[in-house]
Amino acid sequence: MNKNDMVPCPYCGEMIRKKAKACPHCGSDERAGWSDDTYLDGIDLGDDFDYDALVEEEFSGSSYSGNWWKSWKTLTGILLLVLFLLFVLRYLL
């Protein structure tokens, strides 16, 4: 199944087949008000919207991306902690 064949359910947001008659997750169907005419009503994303690119742009370099060691704030904090410990050990020994 192609990624382009999947769309979010207009009621629960779970990914379903584009041609699905009903959502297997929440049970909504055309009788409940969903149809091609109401698909993404009021959401002005445009045809070229790329959700994966948005997530990468928003969360790259943050702790959510799993690359916390690349964050300059973390490196600065570690460096300051090491310098503080060296300063304290110098006077204790």
Question: Which strand (E) or helix (H) includes residue 11?
Answer: none
Cα–Cα distance for residue pair 24/16, rounded to 1 Å: 8
**26's tokens:** 């929440």
What ranges do the domains of the chain cover? 3-42+67-92
The model carries a pTM of 0.34
Residue-wise pLDDT tens digits, 11-48: 788 888 888 888 888 878 877 666 555 555 556 666 67
Lowest-confidence segment of 10-14, 36-40, 53-57, 84-88 by average pLDDT: 36-40
